[in-house]
Amino acid sequence: MSKRPADPNQSAPAARQVPMRDFSRSLPMSLLRAREAVMRQFRPSLRQHGLTEQQWRILRALASIEAAEVTELARTAFLLGPSLSRILRDLEARNLIERKTAKADQRRSVVSISREGVKLMAAVAPTSEAIYAEITRRYGARRLAELQEMLGHLEQSLAELGVSEQAIAEE
């Protein structure tokens, strides 16, 4: 039997056939790995208080504003509508949020944090702040401030590109 020459398209791993940067060096993956490293620090405390990351995000967003329409809250908390609806039902059932009909448009809901939600946040806050302090100690206050500033600049410069939020969400 004679040996046929190897097909160059079959011998190289698929990644080498696609003219893209290495997967581990892609910006979305770098950001996801960093996010995971940060959230890994917070998850045990959130779990201890019976909260998911998304629920905590919503409570944090609502605590920083008086109230928000559901569509605005979805944008603020970076959650898709169907997920947000389910999470709001759970938070409302636990009396952590209050939902009212918008005066201007009866089809819309306005959501705010309840007294119980504020109490829960007050219970979680000391641990959350201690975690932030440890992250700051390990990474450095100046570097953390620079990182947050750079991420803000990145977000702003990409927003100026005019890429739709839907296209980014699908990435």
> Where is pLDDT greater, at 103 or 81?
81
Q: Which of 80, 73, 75 is nearest to 110 (CA)?
A: 73
What is the reported pLDDT for 92? Answer: 96
Mean pLDDT of 7-30: 73
Q: What is the DSSP string of 1-19?
A: -PPPPPPHHHHS-HHHHS-
Quote the tokens at residue 145: 């401030």
Give me the residue spans of the domains in the chain. Answer: 27-160
Model confidence at 25, pLDDT cuts 50, 70, 90, reads confident
> Where is pLDDT greater, at 13 or 4?
13
Mean pLDDT of 33-40: 97
Q: Where are the alpha helices (DSSP H) in 94-140?
A: 115-139
The string of pLDDT tens digits covering residues 55-89 is 999 999 999 988 999 999 999 999 998 899 999 99
Burial of 56 (0-12, 13-18, 19+ CB in 10 A): buried
The architecture of the domain spanning 27-160 is Orthogonal Bundle (1.10)
Which percentage of the chain shows pLDDT scores above 90?
Answer: 68
Q: Which of 91, 90, 160 is nearest to 120 (CA)?
A: 91
Residue 1, pLDDT > 80, answer no
Distances (CA, A) of 34 to 27, 95, 137: 11, 33, 17
Specify the pTM: 0.78
